[in-house]
Chain A
């Protein structure tokens, strides 16, 4: 069965520094996708970055990069130059194709607080 594990319930980072949020996953499928979402206090899930299982290079989106280590089944999110607005919950998620569905399974999340 597919599973996502986020072992850091909460993290602090100083403004302008980089931070790494951990995510490990478990699946027997060869074709899958990994996502990171940001959820501010307003509740909306905001897509940050995607990594496909066959991608050889790590994904990057602006200040976000995904450190994909397939053999270790890890997909850590790196946020560079943290900003106060980065304070939020962050969820790692995985999808795979089952019939026509690409449902997401999520980890339990990491709450990031950026200190001024």
Chain B
């Protein structure tokens, strides 16, 4: 399978613990995005990498959140001192920009997500 993969698929943790999620993008994609989706809502942008550089972070990404993409390959998202409000689905997407198309086209391929439950 050459799609985007995320691990683990499910994570249950106690409040105050640290958790780390991993995303493996499609190999030739140099762009990687993290989104968070809470129950009943659409995904919300968290952060964006181009190769290994983290170029944009949402205000949603508090100091307890950190993301890395060493060597421009896989990415990790760490949440320190988890809170119940962190319970959500964390989605990763990778992309490669298309040229010569109308508008702003960049098809992002999503992984299956990591569902985090903080008890």
Write the residues of chain A forming the contact surface with B, with a CB cutoff of 8 angstroms.
Answer: 4, 29, 31-34, 37, 42-47, 50-55, 91, 93, 95-109
Judge whether B112 is part of the interface by a CB distance below 8 angstroms: yes
Closest A residue to B105 using CB positions: A33
Interface size class of B (residues with CB under 8 A): 20 to 34
Q: How far is the CA of A107 from the CA of B37 in the complex (A)?
A: 11
Contact between chains at A100 and B43 (CB < 8 Å): no
**Interchain nearest-CB distance for A92 vs B (Å):** 8
Q: Mark B89-119, 1 if CB is under 8 A from A, else 0.
A: 1010101010001111111111111010000
Q: Which of A4, A37, A100, A108 contacts B50 (CB 8 A)?
A: A100
Q: How far is the CA of A42 from the CA of B91 in the complex (A)?
A: 13
Q: How far is the CA of A47 from the CA of B107 in the complex (A)?
A: 8
Q: Mark B47-72, 1 if CB is under 8 A from A, else 0.
A: 01010000110000000000000000
Q: Which residues of B contact A37 (CB under 8 A)?
A: 110
Q: How far is the CA of A51 from the CA of B35 in the complex (A)?
A: 22
Q: A45-B91, A101-B56 are in contact. Are A33 and B41 (CB under 8 A)?
A: no
**Interchain nearest-CB distance for A95 vs B (Å):** 5
Q: Which of B41, B43, B95, B111 contacts A102 (CB 8 A)?
A: B95
Q: How far is the CA of A96 from the CA of B102 in the complex (A)?
A: 11
Q: How far is the CA of A52 from the CA of B103 in the complex (A)?
A: 4
Q: Which residues of B contact A52 (CB under 8 A)?
A: 101-105
Q: How far is the CA of A101 from the CA of B93 in the complex (A)?
A: 13
Contact between chains at B42 and A91 (CB < 8 Å): yes
Q: Which residues of B contact A54 (CB under 8 A)?
A: 102-103
Contact between chains at B89 and A104 (CB < 8 Å): no
Interface centre among B35, B97, B104 (most CB of A within 10 A): B104
Q: How far is the CA of A13 from the CA of B60 in the complex (A)?
A: 36
Closest A residue to B58 using CB positions: A103
**Interchain nearest-CB distance for A15 vs B (Å):** 26
Contact between chains at A45 and B104 (CB < 8 Å): no
